[in-house]
Amino acid sequence: MNPTHYPVAIVGTGPTGLVLAHLLARQGVRVLVLERSPGTEPEARAVTIDDESLRTLQATGMLPQLLPDIVLGYGVHYYSWRNRLFARIEPQSAEYGYPKRNAFRQGLLVQRLAQGLARHPTVDLRFRHELLGFEQTDRAVLLRVATPEGEATFSCDWLAACDGGRSPVREALGIALSGTTYAEKWVIADLLQRRSSFRHTRTYCDPIRPAIRLPGPQSTVRYEFMLHPGEEPGQALDEGRLRAWIRQREPADADLPIARKVVYTFHARMAERWRAGRVLLAGDAAHLTPPFAGQGMNSGIRDAANLAWKLAAVAKGQARPALLDTYEQERKPHAWSLIRMALRIGAFMQPKSRPGAAIGQTLLKLACLVPGARDYVLQLKFKPRPRFAAGLLHAGAHARAAIPPGQLMTQPRMQLAGGGDILLDDVLGAGFAVIQWASSPTAVLPGVLAARTLRVLRREDDFLDSTADPAGEHALVRDVGGEIARVLDSAGADALLLRPDRHVLAYRERGASAWADTLQRVLGPYFDESGADGRAVSTTQALAA
């Protein structure tokens, strides 16, 4: 084995790059992680992490170490131009296993994730290593890297560029960012030693000075203020002026220590291509999202979840490189939908006049008087669901199911034989998984696909075997909340197949006898018995790593 060659190299130690490294390591892939800085970024950039991202962190195995630094379950309170509360968004559901909105400090998150890579002997994390250039061949990517000891050469089968919005890798590939950079600038101030215990975000929809107050973990609080045309960043960063703006919103915060203050411009941009040969873009290198919905970092973590298992399968010779083309196909439309949502929220937060603010805020208050509309707004149901319509799925089938193919499966708690409970993903393992009724025939899969089987009892049924092992080859759990029944019954199915990223790939209709043939047609373009390079791949090797 060449010690300077790796199946996958990752550039960048932001959340996207580190999560990708963890997920690849969990599947046994050797990974080189390059970071030009001496350590992870200490500044608090993103401050909101959503339920989907927490579910992905659960898959890394790092969540128990991360949760102490995360404030779970907070909402947003909207204030009018008269400084009156007119709407509260406080979602209560946890369909993916966690609250929808959570506060965190990005600096702490990336520090913990980087430290956690030490548990994986297959990961080589190198700080003070700057990628100077790269060259692609038919079989590898050659990397020129500046190290503390001088220039060195590495190579990899696949290069993942998680190197931020100014991505040097993207620039070297000549891939353009389409979209818009907006004229409005905002100033951010992160404060320490918060004394107010109020946990929810306050958004001030005031045309005079739109502002946001975001409490965070460890008694921190962030303020964001919009600047008007002609206002210079230097003026906005003047401490006296900044504290006066803070005092106007919360007098108790005005004298707190300021840890960081910066002016930023927001972007709504998308890379025109996410793959160029053996190089793939992820996170801010692929898309830049306005901050108003708190989805920029979360979109990057979705990229990592989608890309990791595909890179692992291709790198291990279990799938053809064509599988990597589904990454952009699946992720790009959803990333765009979140950018559009952020722009709509931003327009609402930044009214151009008091009459415009009054009209918009009155319409929202009226909408919240209608039960269906109120639930749509206050439970964040306007957020685009994590789903795709094209890619690796049984397209066109069961489109009207509660969770159609291509959509992220919910994560209910399942009851164990001994009386305890467990989150669904913790009993599914890391690869493909079949969820089926315990009373149904065992699902037969194509020869290229190995998957863990989860046998489920309906909630009206008892365990007859109290020693059933949830870690066994055919685990047995009980659908105590009825969520599996809701999903399977809506599709007229007795089984479903989940991808490693927990999106539904296909359903098996009750009584169907040719499910393996159907799945073979779906998987055929990407997997076969001979693997990606003509190497034999046994059923036990394939995809279940």
Domains of the chain: 5-68+98-177+269-345 (3.50.50.60), 387-545 (3.40.30)
- Look at residue 75 and tell me whether its pLDDT is greater than 70: yes
What count of other Cβ atoms lies within 10 Å of the Cβ of residue 207? 17
> Among 14-28, 58-72, 136-150, 384-398, which is the least confidently predicted range?
384-398
* DSSP states along 200-222: SEEEE--SSS-EEEEEETTTEEE
Give the C-alpha separation, 167 to 176, whole Å: 11
Give SS3 for 118: helix
Give the C-alpha separation, 60 to 449, whole Å: 23
Task: Give the angle subtended at the CA of 389 by the CAs of 482 and 515, to the nearest 5°.
Answer: 60
Element (H, E) at 34: strand 31-35
Closest Cα partner for 495 from 448, 455, 543, 463? 455
Rounded to 10 degrees, the C-alpha dihedral 131/136/140/141 comes to 0
Type of residue at 421: D
**pLDDT at position 232:** 85
Closest Cα partner for 185 from 237, 111, 248, 126? 237
Structure-model confidence comparison of residues 348 and 543, the more confident one = 348
Over range 149-176, report the average pLDDT: 97
Q: Are 421 and 400 in contact (CB under 8 A)?
A: no
Give the C-alpha separation, 25 to 35, whole Å: 18
- Look at residue 7 and tell me whether its pLDDT is greater than 80: yes
Listed ranges 20-34, 428-442, 460-474; the one with the highest mean pLDDT: 20-34
- Look at residue 110 and tell me whether its pLDDT is greater than 90: yes
Instruction: For residue 170, give Cα distances in angstroms to 115, 283, 286, 315, 397.
Output: 27, 12, 8, 22, 37
Over range 483-499, report the average pLDDT: 96
Q: Are 440 and 458 in contact (CB under 8 A)?
A: no
**Banded model confidence at residue 466, pLDDT cuts 50, 70, 90:** low
DSSP state of 407: B
Structure-model confidence comparison of residues 499 and 2, the more confident one = 499
- Look at residue 149 and tell me whether its pLDDT is greater than 50: yes
Tell me the average pLDDT of the chain. 88
Place of tokens 């909630």: 459
Structure-model confidence comparison of residues 468 and 220, the more confident one = 220
Closest Cα partner for 40 from 57, 26, 23, 21? 21
Q: Tens digits of per-residue pLDDT, 323-358? A: 999 999 999 999 999 988 888 777 766 666 667 666
Over range 187-204, report the average pLDDT: 93
Dihedral angle sign, alpha carbons of residues 194, 196, 197, 202: negative
**pLDDT at position 349:** 65
Give the C-alpha separation, 423 to 274, whole Å: 33
Q: Are 277 and 160 in contact (CB under 8 A)?
A: no
Instruction: For residue 296, give Cα distances in angstroms to 66, 88, 186, 434, 475.
Output: 19, 23, 16, 32, 37
Give SS3 for 387: strand
Give the C-alpha separation, 361 to 83, whole Å: 12
Give the C-alpha separation, 73 to 317, whole Å: 41
Give SS3 for 483: helix
- Look at residue 158 and tell me whether its pLDDT is greater than 90: yes
From the centroid of its chain, how far is CA 175? 23
